[in-house]
């Protein structure tokens, strides 16, 4: 059963999503948060299969919340639910690591499709968002170095930047030391860096770690 965290400052919206999810026996609302602070606390305290995140939070910008989630749990998928039209935020949100963007006024069937798509490990991109992405391609050279990494490479990079040893990373991710070492070499090559010290300095400079 997929465990879902709903983050929205409007109780009516949370209740509506709760009522909808209750009709899907394979899904459950495992928690709700009305603020960014509560959301981060719950994300740190428990394991989740997906986060439904409102972009407009009272205490912190939704984009910043998304970035913090991806820093702390890079593999956790986040589906953005927003009252704003796609052309305003969708491209930026997807570039920041979201697994999808959906307007709150979307049909229930669209929400089902979006959640199912994201839970299967894919990004949910509507026709409107796909058109925006086509119109505004992103050059790799314009991206911060860490955004050129794959999800697994970013996970390795983040752990290395926190000072974790290769052996500990291998144990935590159920990988061999050789595999982690290969990922480390690939990360260093992609980011044009020579060692962990440079990774740590970069991560601090980019506010990826404190």
Q: Which domain holds residue 147?
A: 140-205
One domain for residues 144 and 131: no
CATH number of the domain within which 103 lies: 3.40.50.2300
- Considering the domain architecture, whether residues 123 and 158 belong to the same structural domain is answered as no
Q: Are 101 and 90 in contact (CB under 8 A)?
A: yes
What is the structure's pLDDT at 98?
Answer: 92
Shared domain check, 75 and 173? no
**Structural domains in the chain (count):** 2
Same-domain check for residues 128 and 155:
no
Residues 66-92 as b/e (b if ≥16 CB within 10 A, e otherwise) read bbbbbbebbebbbbbbbebebeebbbe
Task: Answer whether 77's CB lies under 8 Å from 119's CB.
Answer: yes
Does residue 210 fall inside a structural domain? no
Q: Give the pLDDT score at 83.
A: 82
Residue where one domain finishes, among candidates 135, 157, 191: 135
Residues 30 and 48 placed together within one structural domain of the fold: yes
53 in the same domain as 113: yes
Tens digit of each residue's pLDDT, the chain (210 residues): 899 999 998 898 898 888 888 888 899 999 999 999 999 999 999 999 999 999 888 787 777 888 889 989 999 999 998 887 776 678 778 888 899 998 888 878 888 889 999 998 888 887 777 777 666 554 444 568 888 888 788 889 999 999 999 999 999 888 899 999 999 999 999 888 989 999 999 999 888 887
Q: Does residue 145 share a domain with residue 111?
A: no
What integer pLDDT is reported at residue 64 of this predicted model? 82
pLDDT at site 141 = 46
């Amino acid at each position: 059963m997929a465990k879902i965290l709903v983050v929205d400052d409007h109780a009516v919206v949370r209740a509506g999503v709760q009522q909808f999810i209750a009709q899907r026996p394979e899904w459950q609302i495992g928690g709700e948060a009305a603020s960014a602070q509560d959301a981060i606390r719950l994300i740190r305290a428990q394991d989740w299969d997906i986060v439904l995140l409102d972009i407009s939070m009272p205490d912190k910008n939704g984009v910043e919340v998304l970035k913090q989630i991806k820093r702390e749990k890079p593999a956790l998928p986040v589906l953005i639910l927003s009252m704003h039209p796609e052309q305003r935020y969708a491209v930026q949100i997807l570039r920041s690591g979201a697994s999808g963007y959906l307007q709150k006024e979307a049909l229930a069937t669209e929400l089902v499709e979006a959640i199912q798509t994201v839970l299967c490990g894919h990004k949910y991109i509507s026709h409107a968002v796909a058109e925006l992405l086509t119109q505004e391609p992103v050059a790799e050279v314009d991206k911060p170095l860490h955004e050129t990494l794959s999800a697994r490479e970013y996970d390795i990079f983040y752990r290395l930047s926190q000072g974790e040893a290769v052996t500990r990373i291998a144990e935590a991710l159920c990988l061999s030391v050789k595999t982690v070492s290969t990922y480390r070499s690939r990360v260093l090559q992609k980011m044009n860096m020579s060692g962990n010290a440079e990774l740590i300095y970069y991560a601090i400079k980019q506010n990826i770690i404190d």
